[in-house]
């Protein structure tokens, strides 16, 4: 039954899934060409305003994550920046009449799974396999069941928070369009600014910050001793 549903999904993918793939493709292509542009720049060449903005954002994010994750910032930053771009673009896609991917639990849970992977893999890279999983039995071994739950609950709450806020905003916008009728073109832009762009930006910051903070809790203290 599950396999049949999966095959049917790929044969007739929902609109939000196509939008999601489109956003991922756009981010990948943009990152490739911007990266190639930066690689080919001469050290004496003055960068454009766009390239300067990209370098400032990446540099600022590197410094920010370094304060939380020590030397593992080089691993975490690219992932959380990609997450931030995807989530934000998904959140604001409703502004241009696209089906917002993040108003569907399927997408938000995929983001929480990504965050869970970042958190656990950071712990494995920092502490090693044995020491990382040994933490599940601390401070006392009977705490193991609670520690297991505590690993999943924060990540689960991230998915539900993102889904609830974006889906709630989308529902309000749908009701507004139904109530205002022809006057929607005059009334709804301000609400799009609040629910799509404003709340979308806030939720992007939240999911990125929580991912960084949870990952930092898995980093060994010795890994913070960097220049």
Q: Are 212 and 154 in contact (CB under 8 A)?
A: no
Q: What is the DSSP letter of 227?
A: -
Percent of the chain with pLDDT over 70: 93
For residue range 93-136, list pLDDT tens digits in order. 888 878 889 988 889 999 899 999 999 999 888 888 888 788 77
Average pLDDT, the chain: 84
**What does the pLDDT read at residue 180?**
75
Give this prediction's pTM. 0.86
Q: What is the mean pLDDT of residues 58-81?
A: 90
| CA 159 and chain centroid, separation | 10
Reading the block at residue 46, the tokens are 């003055």
Higher pLDDT, 155 or 30: 30
Q: What is the mean pLDDT of residues 190-208?
A: 83
Q: Where are the alpha helices (DSSP H) in 70-143?
A: 73-92, 105-127, 129-134
For residue range 83-98, list pLDDT tens digits in order. 999 999 998 888 887 8
Q: How confident is the model at residue 79 (pLDDT cuts 50, 70, 90)?
A: very high
> What is d(CA 19, CA 222) in angstroms, rounded to the nearest whole number?
43
């Amino acid at each position: 039954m599950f396999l049949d549903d999966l095959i049917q999904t790929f044969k007739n993918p929902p609109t939000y899934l196509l939008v999601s793939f489109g956003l991922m493709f756009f981010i990948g292509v943009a990152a490739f060409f911007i990266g190639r542009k930066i690689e080919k720049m001469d050290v004496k060449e003055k960068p454009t305003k766009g390239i300067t903005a990209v370098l400032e954002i990446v540099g600022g994010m590197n410094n920010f994550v370094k304060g939380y994750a020590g030397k593992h910032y080089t691993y975490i930053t690219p992932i959380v920046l990609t997450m931030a771009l995807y989530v934000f673009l998904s959140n604001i896609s409703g502004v241009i009449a696209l089906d917002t991917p993040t108003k569907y639990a399927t997408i938000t849970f995929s983001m929480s799974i990504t965050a869970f992977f970042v958190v656990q893999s950071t712990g494995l890279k920092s502490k090693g396999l044995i020491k990382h999983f040994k933490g599940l039995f601390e401070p006392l071994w009977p705490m193991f069941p609670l520690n297991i739950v505590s690993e999943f609950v924060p990540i689960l709450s991230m998915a539900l928070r993102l889904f609830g806020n974006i889906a709630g905003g989308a529902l309000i916008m749908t009701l507004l369009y139904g109530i205002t009728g022809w006057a929607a073109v005059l009334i709804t832009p301000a609400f799009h600014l609040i629910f799509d762009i404003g709340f979308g930006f806030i939720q992007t910051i939240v999911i990125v910050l929580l991912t960084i903070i949870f990952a930092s809790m898995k980093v060994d203290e010795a890994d913070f001793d960097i220049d």
